[in-house]
Amino acid sequence: DAGITQSPRHKVTETGTPVTLRCHQTENHRYMYWYRQDPGHGLRLIHYSYGVKDTDKGEVSDGYSVSRSKTEDFLLTLESATSSQTSVYFCAISDIRDNYEQYFGPGTRLTVT
Amino acid sequence: AQSVTQPDIHITVSEGASLELRCNYSYGATPYLFWYVQSPGQGLQLLLKYFSGDTLVQGIKGFEAEFKRSQSSFNLRKPSVHWSDAAEYFCAVGPQQTGANNLFFGTGTRLTVIP
């Protein structure tokens, strides 16, 4: 399995509080992604990174920000969590060495009350 | 616009029976196509992928899929289903380019296997 960890694995937070989710990889892959998974929607891309300090928006980026200060870590921040951001969040990585196949982390279940 | 349609939300099959999960895509160029499987509470695992060449691709766990350009389809098949195949299956499409391959996922098909 690809070396991808996500922390925390579960979190319950209140509306209006800031939340940061962390994705850590040990594969030295260039590209990293954040998705959210919701029933009836499959997975939707929030943000992605194509290198250190290089990020771009995905399909559902409103209310989220990201940062990547080093290759191995990609942080997803909810500045002011809302109930609509209750979801399961997955991190993924890819690289040319693996034909850009995406490997997924175990997920973080976030509940905003 | 890119999109992936998995028309079957839930499929139930008997153990040992054959399986076909449907996937149709809309994409402006020749796509990369993927099938992922997700067991309950787990992340996604790649079953197989199509980049180019032979349109029938073999994957792990005895799965295969066939790319049919004329039908914009990439259906997943397995000749004999095992109880351990019960999971959710996602089809995804991405760009044929070097670099970040932002994938678009279907809404998934949940497979139930009955004895």
Interval B61-94: pLDDT, tens: 999 999 999 999 999 999 999 999 999 999 999 8
What band does B23 get if pLDDT is binned at 50, 70 and 90?
very high
Q: Give the gap in angstroms from C-alpha A105 to the nearest C-alpha of chain B.
A: 6
Instruction: With cut-offs at 50, 70 and 90, classify the pLDDT of residue A1.
Output: low
Residues of B with CB under 8 A from a CB of A: 4, 6, 32, 34, 36, 42-46, 49, 51, 90, 92, 94, 98-108
A contact residues 29-58, partner B, Cβ 8 Å cutoff: 31, 33, 35, 40-45, 48, 50, 56, 58
DSSP B64-79: EEEEEGGGTEEEEEES
How confident is the model at residue B52, as a pLDDT? Answer: 83
Q: Do B103 and A96 touch (CB under 8 A)?
A: no
Residues β-bridged to residue B105: B92
pLDDT at B11 over 70: yes
pLDDT digits (tens, 9 = 90+) for A30-50: 999 999 999 888 899 999 999
C-alpha distances in angstroms, A64 versus A6, A107, A111, B102, B108?
Answer: 17, 17, 15, 17, 24
Cα(A49)–Cα(B95) distance, rounded to whole angstroms? 16
Q: What is the distance between the alpha carbons of residues B27 and B10, in angstroms, rounded to a whole number?
A: 25
